[in-house]
Each structure stands twice: as C-alpha cells, then as structure tokens.
Amino acid sequence: MRTLLIVLCTFYCLFSNAQVDSGTPWMKGLKNTKANPLTFKEIVDAGNTYWETRDTDVKGSGYKPFKRWESFWQNYVNAGGFLPTSQELWDVWEAKNSQKSQRRSTAVRTDESDWESMGPTDFLNRSTNSANLGRVNTIIVDPDNSDVIYVGSPAGGIWKSTDAGATYIPLTDFLPQIGVSGIAIDPSNTDILYIATGDDDYNSSTSVGIWKSTDAGANWQQTGMNPTNTPYRTSEIYINPDNTNMLWVATSNGIFKSVNGGDDWTNKQSGSFRDLKVKPNNSNIIYATTNDEFYKSTDAGETFTQITEGLPTTSGRLFIDITPANGNLVYMVASNSDSTYQGIYKSSDSGTTFTQMENTVNIFEGDQSWYDLAIAVSNTNENEIYVGCLNVWKSSDGGDSFSQLNQWYSRTESYTHADIHFIRAFNGSIFVGSDGGIFESTDAGSTFTDLSPGLGISQFYRISVSKQDSNKMAGGLQDNGGFGRDQQWSNYHGGDGMEGVVDPNNDNIYYGFTQRGGSLNINTNSGQNGSTNGYGAPTNEVGNWITPLSINKDSELYAGYGSVYNFGSAGWTKISDTFEANIEVLELDPINSDIMYVSFSYYDDVNSSVHHELHKSVNHGVTFSLIQDFTSNITSIEVNNNDNTILYITTSGGDGKVYRSTDQGSNFTDITGTLPNVTKNIIKHQPFSPTNALYLGTSLGVYRYDDTTNDWGLFETNLPNTDVRDLSINIPDYNITAATHGRGIWRSDLQTEALAANDIFLIAIENPISMQLNCGAVAPQLRVLNNGQNSINTVDITYTLDGGNEIPLSWFGAIASQATAILDLGDMTLAAGIHTLSATTTINNDSFTNNNSAEITFYVNETSETGTVNMFENTSDELIVINESGDVWQRGTPTGTLLNETASGTNVYATNLSGNYADNSKGYLVSNCYDLTTIANPELNFQMAFDLESDYDVAYVQYSTNQGVDWNVLGTAEDFNWYNSSLANCANCVGEQWTGTDSTLTPYSYDLAAFSSESNMIFRMVFHSDQMVNNEGVVIDDLFVYGTTLDADNFQIDQISVYPNPSKDVFYVKLNNSTPFDLRVTDITGKVVYTKKQINSGAPFPLQMEAYSSGIYFLQIEANNQQTTRKLILN
C-alpha cells in the first residue's frame, strides 16, 4: 500500500464554497461571499431560469452538465440549504482519520473488508458509439521517456502508464480527495511530480491543494497549499524549467507562486484563474487567463499586467496555448458570456497585443464551453491549431479557418468521444482528454487511438447485482451509457447511464434508465451482445436526473417520475396520483409487495418553507400517505429484509442523519452515532443477518453498523477515497458491491458474523432457466444455500405448476453450513405453452422463512417434424407468441388493405390481421423446435408479405441453438432471397432486416447447412416498431424446415439432379444411373397433384408444371425401394 505523509503547514484560510463556479452563465450577477453564501436552491433556481429559454435537448447545450452538477451535490446540502466549504470537507477527512486511529488503538470493531476493483477498465461490446470508460481532465508525458504517461481524472485520481498507454496503475487512491486537474513534471528530475487536485471544470470534486511526489508517484506529500488553505479550484500548474524549485498554479483565488518546491506559496495576482502557460525559452514570461481577462508577467510571476489590446471586453471563458515552434506566439480561444463561440485570437508579440482571426465557423457547436473547452498548438508547426468543445476541430493556417476532425456520435478513425476537456501536443503527438477518456493522434489528427482501456475512472451513479450471482451486475456511467457485467463488461445502452436493475427471478434481464428517465433500456442477455430494447418515458413525464427505477420480488418494475409508474407488456401505467415534486427515492418492500415508499422535496411558496417528505403506500402504490417530513433531503430508504416493520432513512448534508423506525415509519430514532459529518448517500441492510448488519455508502467510503455494536465502524480496507453512490449485497456469494463516482465498481466480502442456527436459502429455480423455450420435457432443480450453523439433512419441498395444487416432496442428504446443493424435482412432461413454477423449501426451526421461496416462468415448445408445413389453420398449429411491448402477432384471416392474402388455407400469422400495428411495439413469433441432425441440406422456408415504415420499423429472423437462452440474427442482407436492408444506424435496426413495403406474399428460404449438427433449433420472427408512424405490418404463412432425410437406404445426394429450381414452368429430373424410377408431386398440404411411374433413366425427364399455381411443392422419387424428397419452387 502506498504511504501518505501528512505535513501540517500554517497558511491563511481562504473561504470557498466548494461547489460554486462564477464562470457558469447562470451565475452571472449572483454574489457568493463568506458573509452571505448562496444556498443550493438559489444556484439551482438561477440555472433553471437560465434554461427556461433554451433548448435543453440540443447536444452541446450544456444542460446535461448542469443537471449532473445539481444531482451530484444535492446529497451534500445541509439542513440550512447550504453546500459545504472546503474547510468543512477537510474537517470530515480529519474526523474519519481520527476514528480510524481510535479503532486501531482500542481494537474496537475490526474492519474485515478487503475491497478489490471490479472495473470496468475495458469492455467488449458497444451498443452506442459514444460509450467509453470515463472523463479525463489532464495528461502529461514524461519529457525523458515518452512511454511514461500520466493521466488525471476529475474523480478517479492520477494514473501512470510506463508502456505508452497500454497499461496503467493508479497513484492517488488514498489521498483525502483523488480528483486531479493539473500535473507538472520536474524536467531536471522526472521522479518529482506535482498535482493540482480537484475537478476544475465541473466541480465533481474539490481541491485539497497541491501534492508532491519525489518517487514518480509512488508516495505523495502535502505542499504548503494544503487542504486547510487551498482555494476550492486548482487548475494548471507549471514548473520553471530554469529553476525547478519555482512553480506557478492557477486557482480560483489567484495565481500562486512557490520558490521552494511547493513548501510555501504566495498569491501574486488575485482573481479566478483557469489557465496558465510559460513562454518557451523564456521562463520570465508567464501568461494566465481568468474567464474573461488575459494577464502577462515579465518577471517570472512576481507581478502581472492585464492585456486588453485586440481582446474582447467581455467573455465567458478563455484558454490559451503556446508552441516551441515559435515562442512569440500565443493563441487564445474565447467564448461569449453565454458560453457560445466568440473567436480565436492570436498574438505574435508574446501576448502584448492580439488579433482576432477570420474564422467564423461555430467550432463549439453548442453553448457548453463553461463545462469543457481546450486549445492546443502543435509543438512542431506554429500554424497547426486544435480546438475542442463538443468535438475536435483543426486549423492548418494559424486559425483563419478550421475543419472538423470528428463527430461525437460516429466512431470513425478520428473519434475522441464528446466533450473535450484537454488537448496538448507532446513529442509530435496530439493528446485529447474527453468525457470518454484519453486519445492520441500521431498523424496530426487524421486518426486517434483510444488509450483509455486500463483506466478505472468510471463515474457510476448506481449499481444492481444479481441475487443469484454477484458476477452479474448492471449500472450507469456519467456520459458513457449503461454497462452490464457477466464475467466481463459490456455497454448495453447509451446516454448518461443511471439506475440499473437486474431482474431478481431472471438475472439475464437487465434494465437501465438514461438521464431523467428519458429511456428505459431492456437487455435479455445479461447486458452482453444482442439487442437492447428502448422505451420512452411515460407521456408528459420528465423525471429527475437520476430517476428512480426499482423491481420487487415478483419482478414487477416501477419508476418514480411525478407519479409512480409500473412498466409491463403494455408499456408504462400510471399507478399513483401526482405528487408535489418528482420522486427522488423509491423503495419497494422486499417482503410485502403491497408496500412501497417514496420521498421527494419541494418548496412551499405560500408558507416559504422547504419540505422533505416520506410517503408510504400499502396498496401497491395506488394511494400514498405522508408519514414524515425531515429537515433535509432524503438520500436513501431501506426496508429491513428480515422484518419489514423496520425502516432506515438517510438524509443529506454533512449534518445529515441515519434514522431507524421499528413501526414502518410512524416514529424514527437517530442512529447516526459517532459517524463523522460525511455525506450519506445509500444505506443497505444485509439480508438474513442475525445482527441486522447495515452498510452505509458515503462521500468518503463505506461504514458498517449492527445491533451488537450499535454504532458505525469503517469498512474501507483498500477502497479508494472516493464518493460511494450505491451498494448492493449478494448473500450466496457473501459479498458487497460498491458503485463509486470516479473509481468504478468495487467488491468486498461481507463482515463475518455468527450465523443463525438454522436457515435454508432457496437461491433460485434452475433448469429450466426463466423464460426458456424448452424443447420437450423439463427437469426442474432448486439451488439452495445452507445459511445456518447446523447441517441440513432433510428439506421439505412443495411446488405448484400454473397455480395448481401443491405437490410435496422430501429431500434427504447432508448440506454443510455455508454449502450449496441442487435438489431435483424430477422430470415433467408439460403441454406446449407458458408455465409458472413456484417452489418453497422448509427445514425445522428455520430462522428466516422469507428466503425460502422462488418462482420462474418458462415455456415448453413442441418439436416439429422437418418437411411438415405449418399453414396455421388449426389451434394445434399455433406458435408461441412473446410480446415485449404491445400486442403483436395474431393468428387468423388477414383483411388489411394491402396485406389480405394467404399462401394456403384461410389463416396466417400477422402483426395485425385487420389494420395497422401499434407504435412502440416489439413481439416475437416463435417456431417449434427442429432436429436438424436427421436431414441433409436443411433449409428454413416461409412465405411473407410486409408493409413497414421504411428504415424505422423492421422485421428479422433470429435463431437459438440452446432453447432460447441466446439469440442471434439469422443471415445478412447479402444472402440470396433474404433481407432487403443492412441499415444499422436507425433506432430499431440490427443491421440485417426487412423494412419498407413488399405486399405480395413471397417465398423466402435460408440455407441451414451450418446448423446441421443442431438438435434443438428454434427460430423467431422479430417485429419492432418505433414511436410514431405505423403501417399494416407483416404477414407470415406456410412455415416449415425442409431437408433430405438421412437414411442408409436412401439415395445419395449426388445421384439426383433437379433443374432449374426455382422454375416458372418445367423442371428437369435426372437420375444419374440406369435405374427406372417413379415420381410423385404434392403441394404443401400433402395433396398429390402429379404422378408418373417407371421413368427411364438417362435423358432428363421434363416435369411440366405450368398448369399449377405458383408456390412450394415437394417432389418424391422412388427407385429400387429407396426414396428421396426434393423441394420445388414454382414461380
């Protein structure tokens, strides 16, 4: 473990409200002073007023960063409505260390945690081009070794690579605050590093001063600018190359200078400074900028003079860069006070005068430069300039004109993710730091290489872990989408990822919200490859930045907008009345699904009062009643998993509390105990804990509480000092997972404690898997855990199928304490269709009975004979239909305007038999199971007509070889007689599909030779419509799988020739030997339409079919008591 040397220094204390930045457009005119600090509400109200007249949905508008800021800091608001100062945050750190020291000295409450990183540091699949790992604020390359790169992230610390970005290690996990916005390397001794801490762009972390390392980042010491006196924001830091004990740093309180290696600092120029540069080859000349002023020093930073000639009189933000290619040049990028593009300014006389360049192209592409803006000049070409705000732009003529290098939504070779915070040239390369990571170009911006893999800097909002398997989890990342893990990480939806939810009864199903509940994304493959289905918010609803999403033990999904909503096959259904404000926290009772809790805060204009209310429903969310009004925001609600009369609440601010109720919220007791004034983000109760263990995620790590100690102790070994936003506990694996806002996901074993004497935990019903399409009989199994001290020798089991009578079983054996076992229920032969299996396990003297039951829903599918055509005429021909949303796929007679034909008989399957399909619908028409091992040359066949909104609504075929556990798209648009579109960049497109209109029933076929070894092959036709414009849909008829029967007595494949096939009239049949043969032709109903006996071999036999209707026919040939069948297509 790296050591941290605390050097206490005496300095002057500067007041700073740690989260207020006067440079943001909505802060113009607001006064924030020590005597009269702004309240959080005043800042947010100013922002909301600013955004009332602006389009918040435009990319690059700056609205998203504002809402991120609001959401992040609302948990820090104290009872008075104020945000903490830097000094208050430092006091919390000191109190935490004091508690840690006291625990060591008194041996009280041993911390048994051992946290390890779970990533993501890389991921396999990307559902959206904008997904990556996390935000980077600053980058520097070792001047003596270009393979050594340091990367600073705003809430994830400084990282070091010694192999040019191939791998990284974190260096600052245990500093008081690990965000980094500036890095400097001593050019005379590159083991000496300085970092400016905090987040200088977005204030997701505050500065704790300037820290120094003398061993290349292995250990760090405070400098004279330390957590007790630092300005709230520290930015660029530079070392004098001619005197490396001299440093300058730009801060929110001015430009500070040190002449003794950081031991002491002096404020040389007051003001809120953001950028600073040292003139190449003349370290006496220093340039610096505030948001709207440019300063120059000619005496190594002793004094500064404001330069105005050629510069705008007012600006919103200014950034500068210089180049060794011409030391007299200074380039500046400027934004207007509303954060829009103002211009490029150039000085050719070392910053004495400036000229605005001719470029008028809006290279910002929006108005969020208050959040991210960067400029860099090539170190080899003085006319080569790079500017970044939303994307990266390049000028090759000194700023007179610019060309765009990339687009945030298109992952081309020049991709760098959206929102550019940093650009700099090192050794001829251009490095970019963005909301997605670090990127390098070695060819002047033509291409960029993503160097982010290996960085564990993800800013998670929430995490959900599978009840059965802690290696499966879903969560959301700031500006990088929703990520799912199943042994490995994948991105399964875009936007800002928010709440993630894993279905408790089928952990292959992951749900994920985007910001403000704008999109619900559902992935049925554990967040891995395969399609993710997106559904919009309920009509006229816009949720909070983090809109709560929760699922109960019965797999019912709920969300909190202005009301409580339930999501089902019909989409969103409003459950409750509308509250006074958007719901902030939604908690579902783990024992009784009728009970749920919500909390929200609002300002009462009539009485000029703020309310932070807790409401409860006992009727499944239909009605709610107010049960408590707290003094600050409610940050989390947790129902005890053993006894649902017990409820826990945490409230915001360092002065926030932890409360416990033993009567479902009627009364509360303060159990905050000796907790320091950390921000309390999330509280979780450990299920089936005899001591009711609680875990608390805070702004500085994790704490633990139980009924035996009645107080809180640190639970933080090896956990970085970063904000813990969410926790999830898994009992079978006995661990806890933490989502941090800056260092990704972490996991530790739970604290050991005495087990209950007797406890059996029914983890899951396995085999069948939930929602599996089983080909034939099923053999259900129960996976149980002995969660008690005593061995289990007998388990009584009862189960029901489809709500029928209870069936009792008894299991005998031996299950040791903490061991798992599989209990077999035996083979079951069930009718085709959907089934529900419920099971309960019972042992004598069971301490916890609410973990004894489980339920799954699954399908039994019929096996169909190959060659048998399903014309859908009878109820026995019905297929399984599964609807994710809407009501899709009906069997009957089509009567649409365009789609009104059948291929045979009177019935088809159609998305809608008599009209248009519904918007926002997705459904699956599932085939029977097929055994392809019994036939040669297998082929899928059906007839189809379609009328779909072109390039928005689609249909395609998927296949499964493992009874519906995994699905893949069958074929491509390049295959013969298959899809008509390969479009991939539409909302519902998978890259291979049918779309548009072809209203004539047409035979389609697909060669299945690649699947000849599959004995349980299933297909499904997928239909997916978007949110607007609908047509008549899809009609399917005459579905079958065809092939030549494999039998020792049958003809060899190469003995018969049939050509041409398809044909419009005549087929030629030739047997490649001298044996006479009989011939018979049947239609798809099995009706014989043509026979001919004793045809002589030799010359081809002309089979005349022009008199018959077009369609599919079967040709049967028999000779010497052997026979074979071929499919004929008559056009």
SS3 of the chain: helix, strand, coil, percent, to 5: 5, 40, 50
What is the per-residue pLDDT across 574-632, written as a single tens digit (0 to 9) for each?
A: 999 999 999 999 999 999 999 999 999 999 988 889 999 999 999 999 999 999 999 99
The one-letter amino acid code at 542 reads: V
DSSP string, 17-86: BTT--TTSGGGTT----SSSPPPHHHHHHHHHHHHTTS-TTSTTSSHHHHHHHHHHHGGG--TTSPPPBH
CA-CA-CA-CA torsion sign (895, 901, 905, 908): negative
Domain count for the chain: 4
Cα separation, 580 vs 537, in Å, equals 19
934 and 854 fall within a common domain:
no
**What pLDDT, on the 0 to 100 scale, is given for residue 96?**
85
pLDDT of 56 > 90? The answer is no
User: Residue 1096 maps to which CATH number?
Assistant: 2.60.40.3080
Structure tokens at 379: 């170190």
Cα separation, 29 vs 918, in Å, equals 51
User: Residue 173 maps to which CATH number?
Assistant: 2.130.10.10
**Angle, CA 471 vertex, CA 466 and CA 472 arms, to 5°:** 45
Any domain includes 919? yes
Pairing state of beta strands 922-926 and 1018-1024? antiparallel
385 and 258 fall within a common domain:
yes
Structure tokens at 1037: 């008829």
Residue 105: which residues within 8 A CB-CB, separation 6 or more? none
169 and 316 fall within a common domain:
yes
Any domain includes 773? yes
With beta carbons less than 8 A apart as the criterion, state whether 173 and 720 touch: yes
Cα separation, 503 vs 509, in Å, equals 6
853 and 934 fall within a common domain:
no
Structure tokens at 729: 């506990």
DSSP 8-class letter at 870: B
Residue 576: which residues within 8 A CB-CB, separation 6 or more? 563, 564, 617, 621, 622, 623, 624
**What pLDDT, on the 0 to 100 scale, is given for residue 14?**
33
778 and 851 fall within a common domain:
yes
Q: How far is CA 89 from CA 18, 213, 355, 661, 801, in A?
A: 9, 23, 44, 29, 57
Cα separation, 851 vs 784, in Å, equals 10
**What pLDDT, on the 0 to 100 scale, is given for residue 338?**
93
934 and 1053 fall within a common domain:
no
Where is average pLDDT lowest: 231-245, 385-399, 694-708, 769-783? 769-783
The predicted model scores a pTM of 0.88
Where is average pLDDT lowest: 159-168, 378-387, 704-713, 1052-1061? 1052-1061
- Tokens 């997904």 appear where? 131
186 and 251 fall within a common domain:
yes
Give burial (CB, 10 Å; 0-12/13-18/19+) of 463: buried
Cα separation, 848 vs 787, in Å, equals 10
**What pLDDT, on the 0 to 100 scale, is given for residue 34?**
60
1077 lies in which domain range? Answer: 1047-1130
Structure tokens at 23: 């440079």
DSSP 8-class letter at 1062: S
**What pLDDT, on the 0 to 100 scale, is given for residue 531?**
67
Any domain includes 443? no
Three-class secondary structure of residue 523 per DSSP: strand
**What pLDDT, on the 0 to 100 scale, is given for residue 565?**
99
| Residue 718 backbone zone (phi > 0: left; psi -120 to 50: alpha; other: beta) | left
**What pLDDT, on the 0 to 100 scale, is given for residue 135?**
97
**What pLDDT, on the 0 to 100 scale, is given for residue 1118?**
82
Cα separation, 25 vs 367, in Å, equals 10
**What pLDDT, on the 0 to 100 scale, is given for residue 1?**
29
User: Residue 1004 maps to which CATH number?
Assistant: 2.60.120.260
Any domain includes 501? no
Any domain includes 555? no
823 and 882 fall within a common domain:
no
With beta carbons less than 8 A apart as the criterion, state whether 76 and 206 touch: no
950 and 1097 fall within a common domain:
no
Q: pLDDT band for position 16 (50/70/90)?
A: very low
With beta carbons less than 8 A apart as the criterion, state whether 693 and 711 touch: no
| Residue 29 backbone zone (phi > 0: left; psi -120 to 50: alpha; other: beta) | left
The residue-averaged pLDDT of 334-343 equals: 96
What is the per-residue pLDDT across 78-90, written as a single tens digit (0 to 9) for each?
A: 888 888 877 788 8
Cα separation, 948 vs 889, in Å, equals 15
3-state secondary structure 77-105: CCCCCCCCEHHHHHHHHHHHHHHHHHHHH
% of the chain with per-residue pLDDT over 90: 75
What is the per-residue pLDDT across 272-289, written as a single tens digit (0 to 9) for each?
A: 999 999 999 999 999 999
With beta carbons less than 8 A apart as the criterion, state whether 900 and 949 touch: no
Give burial (CB, 10 Å; 0-12/13-18/19+) of 706: buried
Residue 43: which residues within 8 A CB-CB, separation 6 or more? 20, 26, 27, 30
Any domain includes 118? no
Cα separation, 518 vs 509, in Å, equals 19
Cα separation, 256 vs 252, in Å, equals 10
331 and 237 fall within a common domain:
yes
pLDDT of 60 > 70? The answer is yes
What is the per-residue pLDDT across 959-1012, written as a single tens digit (0 to 9) for each?
A: 999 999 888 999 999 999 999 999 987 778 889 999 999 999 999 999 999 999
Residue 1000, H or E segment: strand 997-1007
pLDDT of 772 > 90? The answer is no
907 and 830 fall within a common domain:
no
Pairing state of beta strands 954-960 and 908-910? unpaired
Cα dihedral angle (264, 270, 272, 274), rounded to 10 degrees?
-60
User: Residue 780 maps to which CATH number?
Assistant: 2.60.40.10
With beta carbons less than 8 A apart as the criterion, state whether 372 and 419 touch: yes
**What pLDDT, on the 0 to 100 scale, is given for residue 9?**
32
Cα separation, 557 vs 461, in Å, equals 19
The residue-averaged pLDDT of 1067-1083 equals: 85
With beta carbons less than 8 A apart as the criterion, state whether 734 and 749 touch: yes
| Residue 435 backbone zone (phi > 0: left; psi -120 to 50: alpha; other: beta) | alpha
844 and 917 fall within a common domain:
no
pLDDT of 449 > 50? The answer is yes
Any domain includes 813? yes
**What pLDDT, on the 0 to 100 scale, is given for residue 769?**
84
**What pLDDT, on the 0 to 100 scale, is given for residue 5?**
33
End residue of a domain, out of 354, 373, 402: 402
Cα separation, 136 vs 149, in Å, equals 13
Three-class secondary structure of residue 1053 per DSSP: helix
The one-letter amino acid code at 84 reads: P
Q: How far is CA 677 from CA 93, 629, 653, 669, 771, in A?
A: 9, 21, 8, 18, 47
Any domain includes 704? no
Structure tokens at 702: 């994790």
End residue of a domain, out of 833, 861, 889: 861
End residue of a domain, out of 806, 833, 861: 861
- CB count, 10 Å around CB of 247? 26
